[in-house]
């Protein structure tokens, strides 16, 4: 039986809802943002569910206060707002304070990248990886399907400290059909290749798998890695996984060359003395107002399947034999 596509937030919130029945130590706070599963949480646990209204700064501060008193907190809002509207609250009351106080606050942001394709650039989110990974003590989690999202719940409960989960807003096809990825590793090797490896996060894993399949049809086997834990992956294992490749391509639904996944990989490869050259693919840094489907928007900004395919092919040609 194959798993149906499901929104990450619903799969994740289902876990929260189940856990809240047994664990009185969980609090759920939202900035007036919902989901079908959230309705169950507010109906069943009204004493531990709070809507702060459209007030993300207060969302973070209230969550910090609850966490100081020992609650495990899930704070929920649209991705650009839960990261950028309240960045200093996240810095001061979560990143900084958790340096000296045990706190478990999990920011659940919905709408990574272009998931809100028709809502325009205020609701799209291309800066969050860069910004949130700049904050020490924060863990940054970026799943590619709802199975991963669901399993991240236990990771959140089991690991103290502030976290940011960047969820896609759409119900994406299931990638981890049979087994969830290894949470300890923080990444998953989907496929091994010969010369090149695509490293993707979030939605872009779907594009990477698509591109790899098309290249395979033409006889070029490329590796594909899903990096879903952007802060706490198994360093040695990732280094070994990347070791064989002369070319690494990073794929993110975020601004290109602005400190996101691509910067992480550039740094990682340099620090580990790996010999790979890197092609970084992401959204060309600009704000665009055109409407279109996600696939159309992706082609326009350089991360659509066709754009990626073309650029990976040229990259491949530029690599030594």
Partner 1 sequence: MNQSDLQSKASWVWRETLAIHRRAPETRLASSLSSVEIFVALYYGGILRFNPKNPLDTGRDRCIISKGHGSICLYPILADLGYFASEELHRICEVGSFLGGIPDPIIPGYETVNGSLGHGLGVATGVALALKSKGSDKGVFVVAGDGELHEGACWEAIMFASQHRLDNLHLIVDNNRISMLGYTDEIVSHGDLNGRLTAFGWDCGEVDGHDVSAVQAVLARQKKTATGKPKALIARTLKGRGVPGLENAPLSHIINPKPELIDALLETKS
Question: Rounded to an integer, what is the distance from CA 30 to the centroid of its chain?
Answer: 19
**Cβ count near 76 (within 10 Å):** 29
Are residues 262 and 230 in contact, defined by beta-carbon separation less than 8 angstroms?
Answer: no
- Closest contact distance (angstroms) between CB of 46 and partner 1 is 11
Query: Does 264 participate in binding partner 1 (rule CB under 8 A)?
Result: no
Which residue from 1, 22, 47, 286 is in contact with partner 1, where contact means CB under 8 A? 47
Which residue from 48, 133, 139, 206 is in contact with partner 1, where contact means CB under 8 A? 48
Which residue from 5, 36, 53, 136 is in contact with partner 1, where contact means CB under 8 A? 53
Query: Does 69 participate in binding partner 1 (rule CB under 8 A)?
Result: yes
Query: Does 307 participate in binding partner 1 (rule CB under 8 A)?
Result: no
Give the E-state strand segments of 196-311 in sequence order: 196-200, 223-227, 247-255, 277-283
What distance, in Å, lies between the first and last C-alpha atoms of the chain? 43
Which listed range, 44-52, 160-168, 249-257, 301-309, lies at the site for partner 1 (CB under 8 A)?
A: 44-52
- Closest contact distance (angstroms) between CB of 58 and partner 1 is 4
Are residues 22 and 56 in contact, defined by beta-carbon separation less than 8 angstroms?
Answer: no
Site string for partner 1, 101-140 (x = CB under 8 A): x---------------------------------------
Query: Does 93 participate in binding partner 1 (rule CB under 8 A)?
Result: yes
**What distance in Å separates the CA atoms of residue 261 and residue 264, rounded to the nearest whole number?**
5
Nearest partner of 201 among 180, 230, 227, 222, judged by Cα: 227
Which residue from 18, 23, 36, 70 is in contact with partner 1, where contact means CB under 8 A? 70
> How many residues are recorded in the chain?
321
Query: Does 286 participate in binding partner 1 (rule CB under 8 A)?
Result: no
Nearest partner of 203 among 235, 170, 179, judged by Cα: 170
- Closest contact distance (angstroms) between CB of 31 and partner 1 is 10
Which listed range, 13-21, 51-59, 123-131, 231-239, lies at the site for partner 1 (CB under 8 A)?
A: 51-59
- Closest contact distance (angstroms) between CB of 65 and partner 1 is 2
Element (H, E) at 165: strand 163-167
Dihedral of CA atoms 302, 252, 202, 94 in degrees, nearest 10, equals -140
Binding site for partner 1 (CB under 8 A): 27, 47-48, 50, 52-53, 55, 57-58, 60-71, 88-89, 92-93, 96-97, 100-101
């Amino acid at each position: 039986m194959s798993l149906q596509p499901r929104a990450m937030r619903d799969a994740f919130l289902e876990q929260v809802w189940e856990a809240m029945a047994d664990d009185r130590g969980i609090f759920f706070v939202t900035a007036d943002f919902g989901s079908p599963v959230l309705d169950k949480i507010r109906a069943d646990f009204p004493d531990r569910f709070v809507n702060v209204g459209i007030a993300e700064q207060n969302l973070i501060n209230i969550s910090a206060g609850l966490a100081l008193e020992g609650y495990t907190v899930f704070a929920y809002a649209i991705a650009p707002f839960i990261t950028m509207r309240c960045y200093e609250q996240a810095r001061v009351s979560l990143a900084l304070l958790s340096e000296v106080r045990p706190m478990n606050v999990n920011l659940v942001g919905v709408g990574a990248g272009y998931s809100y394709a028709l809502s325009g650039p205020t609701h799209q989110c291309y800066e969050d990886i860069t910004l949130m990974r700049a904050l020490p003590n924060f863990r940054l989690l970026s799943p590619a399907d709802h199975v991963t999202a669901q399993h991240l719940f236990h990771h959140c409960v089991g690991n103290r400290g502030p976290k940011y989960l960047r969820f896609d807003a759409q119900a994406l096809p299931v990638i981890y059909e049979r087994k969830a990825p290894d949470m300890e590793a923080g990444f998953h090797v989907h496929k091994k290749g010969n010369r090149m490896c695509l490293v993707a996060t979030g939605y872009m894993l779907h594009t990477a798998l698509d591109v790899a399949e098309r290249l395979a049809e033409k006889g070029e086997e490329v590796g594909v890695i899903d990096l879903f834990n952007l802060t706490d992956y198994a360093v040695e294992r990732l280094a070994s996984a990347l070791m064989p490749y002369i070319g690494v391509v990073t794929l993110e639904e975020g601004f290109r060359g602005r400190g996101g996944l691509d910067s992480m990989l550039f740094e990682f490869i340099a620090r580990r003395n790996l010999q790979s050259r890197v092609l970084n693919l992401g959204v060309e840094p600009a704000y665009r107002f055109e409407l279109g489907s996600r696939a159309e928007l992706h082609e326009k900004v350089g991360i659509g399947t066709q754009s990626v395919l073309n650029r990976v092919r040229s990259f491949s040609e530029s690599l030594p034999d």
